[in-house]
Structure formats: C-alpha cells, structure tokens
Chains A and B, each alone.
Chain A
Amino acid sequence: EPEVTQTPSHQVTQMGQEVILRCVPISNHLYFYWYRQILGQKVEFLVSFYNNEISEKSEIFDDQFSVERPDGSNFTLKIRSTKLEDSAMYFCAGRTGLISPLHFGNGTRLTVT
C-alpha cells in the first residue's frame, strides 16, 4: 500500500539555522498538511495546502514558516530561523478529497539546540 514518506526521520539543527523538512505524499493526493507534536503534548495543525497555495494556517505558522510543492511531488516545510521551541515531531499528511481519509507520514523529529 502506498505511504506518505518523510525525510529525514531525525534532524538536529542549531538555533537560528534554516531547516527544510521533506514529504512525498501518495501520488493521487490533492490536499496536503503539516502538523506538529511537541514532546508530550497534543498534535497541532500548522498549515493546509491545496492547488499550490495555502488554504489555511494556524497562529503557529508565522513568517518563519513556509511551504511549497516545487516539483509536483515533494511537499516541503521550511523554517527560516529555528528557535528552541520549534523542537517537535513534524507530521506531513495528505488526502485525495476533502472527505477521504487523511494519511500521515512517519514524522520528522526536529531537535533545535
């Protein structure tokens, strides 16, 4: 069965550095999402993306965050200048239609030191 894949599985970066988290959704997915989970806390919505533009974003998704799907396959989340509080598990997700099930990737654990 096709899966949403995320790379890397773990990334360590220094505060202030830029980081790019990558996701390859299932090929027929049209709607894409990023969620994050700070250790021991709930999973939180960051952003949704459809038709090559952001359709919704949370208050967490400030100017330091951006998303793009440059080549029609990879879906990336960029954090321009990482902060300690950005340390979390970041999950990519996708779906084929608005009422179809959401498929999550395995997540990227981001550690900011």
Chain B
Amino acid sequence: AQTVTQSQPEMSVQEAETVTLSCTYDTSESDYYLFWYKQPPSRQMILVIRQEAYKQQNATENRFSVNFQKAAKSFSLKISDSQLGDAAMYFCAYRSAGKNTDKLIFGTGTRLQVFP
C-alpha cells in the first residue's frame, strides 16, 4: 500500500522569504501523480500544484515549485516570496495512475505560519 509522510508538523517563515515543505512517499508503482493541497482556515482544500511522475521537469505555479526526486521518492514544495495569505495547512497527496483507483492518499499535513 502507498503511504505519504510529512515529517514537519509545523513550519514558519517570514514574509517575503522562502520556505520548503517536505514530503516523502512510498510506492511500488512507476506511474502516479503527486499533489500539494492548501487548507486555509476557511477549510476548503485548494490544489496548489501537481506533478506527473513520468515528467522529469519539476512543476511550477507562480511562487510555488516542487523538487520531485523520483528515485528518492521525495516531493518537496518550495514557496518563494511568502505572503501572509500563504498561512495554512499544506497536505501532500499521492494518486495512482492506474485504472483501478483514483483515490488520493494524504500525508498528515504541515501547518505553515507566515510572520510579517
């Protein structure tokens, strides 16, 4: 079974600085998707960024980028130029690319605080 581990329960960063959130996963599959979701106090889970395992190039979305290391099964999220609105819980998630399942497997989350 696949597992997702986020070893940092809490992280903090100053506004305008850069922070990296860690995520590792375990799978025997070769084709899958990885995601970072943001959950602000409003509770809604918002997709931040997505990576297909077959793509070597790291995904980027504006200030958000990932460092995807397939061999190491590592998928970290880098937030550049942090803003107060980035404060939230961040969840790393895995999804098989197989046809039998499309469920997301989540990590336990990292709470990010942003200080002015």
Residues of A within 8 A of B (CB): 31, 33, 35, 41-45, 48, 56, 58, 89, 91, 93, 98, 101-102, 104-107
Q: Is the CB of B44 within 8 A of A42?
A: no
The 3 closest A-B pairs by CB, nearest first: A104-B45, A45-B103, A43-B106
Q: Size range of the interface on B?
A: 20 to 34
Known interface pairs A41-B108, A42-B109. Does A102 touch B103 (Cβ–Cβ under 8 Å)?
A: no
Q: Is the CB of A106 within 8 A of B42?
A: yes
Q: Is the CB of B108 within 8 A of A42?
A: yes
Closest to B4 in A: A42
Q: Is the CB of A42 within 8 A of B103?
A: no
Residues of B within 8 A of A (CB): 37, 42-47, 50, 91, 93, 100-109
18 contacts between A and B (CB under 8 A): A33-B103, A41-B108, A42-B106, A42-B107, A42-B108, A43-B93, A44-B106, A48-B103, A56-B101, A89-B43, A91-B45, A101-B47, A102-B104, A104-B46, A105-B44, A106-B43, A106-B44, A107-B43
Residues on the B chain within 8 Å of A89, using CB:
43
Closest to B102 in A: A98
Chain A facing B: main interface SS: strand
Residues on the B chain within 8 Å of A42, using CB:
91, 106-109
Closest to A44 in B: B106
How many Å lie between the Cα of A59 and that of B66 in the bound state? 32
A93 to chain B, nearest CB (A): 8
How many Å lie between the Cα of A106 and that of B44 in the bound state? 4
Q: Is the CB of A107 within 8 A of B104?
A: no
Q: Is the CB of A48 within 8 A of B102?
A: yes
Residues on the B chain within 8 Å of A106, using CB:
42-44
Residues on the B chain within 8 Å of A31, using CB:
102
